[in-house]
Amino acid sequence: MAASAYVQRDQPPGVPPLKLTGERTLPDVPAENYWFRRHLAVYEWIGARTIGARTLDLACGEGYGSEVLARGACSVLGIDGNPEAFEHARHRYVRQNLRFERGLVESAGEPGAYDAVALLQTIEHVQDPEAVLAHLRALLAPGGVAYVSTPNLQTIAPPGAVKSDNPWHLREYRAHEFHALCRTAFHRVQLLGLVHARKLALHDLALACGWDHVHRRLHLTKVFYDTFTPAIAAGDFALRAGGLDGALDFLAVCRA
């Protein structure tokens, strides 16, 4: 079934469900749970480090990440340019310290007003990433931190390819390329890699031992993954400083 055929389930009254188009990930879509939890893990990691911060979540999409950040932040502003996502987010996630606006990553926000700015899984979509990163730096208050994530070209694309087949991505990066890009706007950049942990790491081990052949031969593929995929949690991913070439995604922690 095409991704566009899926929509979110069981939304609260008055909250319009969003379709899964491939441009953004969504909660409440069982088949999308791996990608949702993969993104949620990074938001939770950032949220633990932005307690009490004035936080901006650019390209916030459905809004779930802004809500995670708002659990500990002083205030969170989620900004997205998509009208459907904006309407969904402002009705779905209601907190006293959380609000949403429509805007573009290239121009949204108030200069010098934020202790933390998040731009997750977005820099690969923009025409001028250097200008966007310079804008992020201008948005930060003194001592502020920008958190920027992107997929790893070496694990999202076939070997030797310059880009994956994702039609929404304009440019994808290797670790050293992404680090150099972030350094165009920030003097201090720490690059972390998102990897499988816990049951996803065990699943990787099982695949290396031939699990794919076993479940196919026993006709267990659908039964197994219909149970396994919805059970994936954010804790089944981890951020690490080493082994970046094999990471799923990169997270750059950027300081002026």
**Does a structural domain hold residue 8?**
no
pLDDT given for residue 1 in this prediction? 35
pLDDT at residue 5 above 70?
no
**Does a structural domain hold residue 84?**
yes
- Of the candidates 113, 108, 2, 115, the one whose C-alpha atom is nearest the C-alpha of residue 52 is 115
Tokens found for residue 199: 């049951």
Give CA–CA dist 77/110, Å, rounded. Answer: 11
Average confidence (pLDDT) over 94-98: 97
**Does a structural domain hold residue 55?**
yes
Q: Work out whether the CA dihedral 152, 155, 156, 157 comes out positive or negative.
A: positive
**Does a structural domain hold residue 150?**
yes
Tokens found for residue 148: 């920027």
165-to-38, 56, 106 alpha-carbon distances in Å = 19, 30, 25
DSSP 3-state percent helix, strand, coil across the chain (nearest 5): 40, 25, 40
- Domain containing 216: what range? 32-255
User: What is the tens place of the pLDDT at every residue in 139-159?
Assistant: 999 999 999 999 999 999 998
pLDDT given for residue 2 in this prediction? 44
Average confidence (pLDDT) over 153-178: 94
Give kind and range of the element (H or E) at residue 58.
strand 54-58
Please, are residues 175 and 191 in contact by the beta-carbon 8 Å criterion? yes
Q: How much is the pTM?
A: 0.94
CATH code, domain carrying 201? 3.40.50.150
**Does a structural domain hold residue 9?**
no
Average confidence (pLDDT) over 233-237: 98
